Amino acid sequence: MVVISTFTILPLFSVIKAYAFLALYVIPSCFSLVILFSQLPETKGREIHEIVAELRGKQQPKITVLNNEI
């Protein structure tokens, strides 16, 4: 990725000026955020050892059902 952005930034900047940074940095960053949110497990209310065990594949994620009390 670094090599691609290094060799494309100057020619792209001469063509579309400051919008070259949008294409080379913002778009890949947004794509990376989508990947992170879809691949990382939920960690709210869990201990660190449970999260590490799940990431290592030793434990299946626990599914908890919350009661909707009004």
pLDDT digits (tens, 9 = 90+) for 3-54: 776 777 777 777 777 777 777 788 889 999 999 988 887 888 889 888 888 8
Burial label, 51 (beta-carbon count in 10 A; 0-12, 13-18, 19+): middle
Q: Does position 61 have pLDDT exceeding 60, yes or no? A: no
| Residue 60 domain-assigned (yes or no) | no
| Residue 56 domain-assigned (yes or no) | no
Q: How many domains does the chain have?
A: 1
| Residue 58 domain-assigned (yes or no) | no
Domain span at 36: 2-41
| Residue 49 domain-assigned (yes or no) | no
| Residue 20 domain-assigned (yes or no) | yes
CA distances (Å), 15 to each of 5, 18, 21, 24, in order? 15, 9, 12, 14
Residue of 65 and 43 predicted with greater confidence: 43
Q: How far apart are CA 19 and CA 1, in angstroms?
A: 18
| Residue 22 domain-assigned (yes or no) | yes
Instruction: Please name the residues in contact with 32: beta carbons below 8 A apart, sequence gap of 6 or more.
Output: none
